[in-house]
Amino acid sequence: MALRNSRQPKLLDAVALEAYAFRVLQGRGMSIGELREKLKRKAANTAEIDTILSKLKQYGFLDDRKFADAMSASRKENRGLGKARVLRELRQHRVAPGVAQDSVEAAYEGVDEVGMIEAFLERKFRSVDLAKYLTDEKNLSSAFRKLRYSGFSAGNSIRVLKRYAERAGELEDEESEPEA
């Protein structure tokens, strides 16, 4: 009895690879780096990938700047995430670091991070009395970690948490400790 997972994927020639690239881009926007990786897995001849990518750029289907701008704006407006998180996600999508940084800076220009943190806390802890909840050291640390993971700066996160819990100042020591 043969194993099902031992099947090799069918490698595509240039025409089929280009059609595959169009199909993939119809599903969702991608960065050039992401699409390059997908095409590498399917290509019979990897030398054709650059030609296909340059065609797609010429047609206007691939533009890392537009992709990064749209993703930055979406993450800020729809999810309320901080700059560091959006930058991390853009890097995971293989957007060039310079393009990602410029896009994030433009999207967050003039944004009040403290206001974003307050809105984030209201959204995440809407069913609890935050002042009472954050008196427990474990919950305070958890809220701080959530804020940091969501891309907010440590200083502004602590500043907002101090409004709810006196012990939030101790988080500064926790933040400055080197990670193992």
Q: What is the DSSP string of 54-71?
A: HHHHHHTS--HHHHHHHH
* pLDDT tens digits for range 109-155: 999 999 999 999 999 999 999 989 999 999 999 999 999 999 999 99
Q: What is the pTM of this model?
A: 0.83
Q: In the predicted model, what is the mean pLDDT of residues 29-38? A: 94
SS3 70: helix
The Cα 34–Cα 25 span in angstroms is: 11
Q: In the predicted model, what is the mean pLDDT of residues 12-40? A: 93
DSSP state of 103: H
* pLDDT tens digits for range 62-96: 999 999 999 999 999 999 999 999 999 999 999 99
Report domain extents, the chain. 10-59, 64-107, 113-176
Per-residue model confidence (pLDDT) at position 175 = 53
Per-residue model confidence (pLDDT) at position 164 = 87
Q: Which of these, 127, 113, 125, 123, lies nearest to 158 by C-alpha position?
A: 113
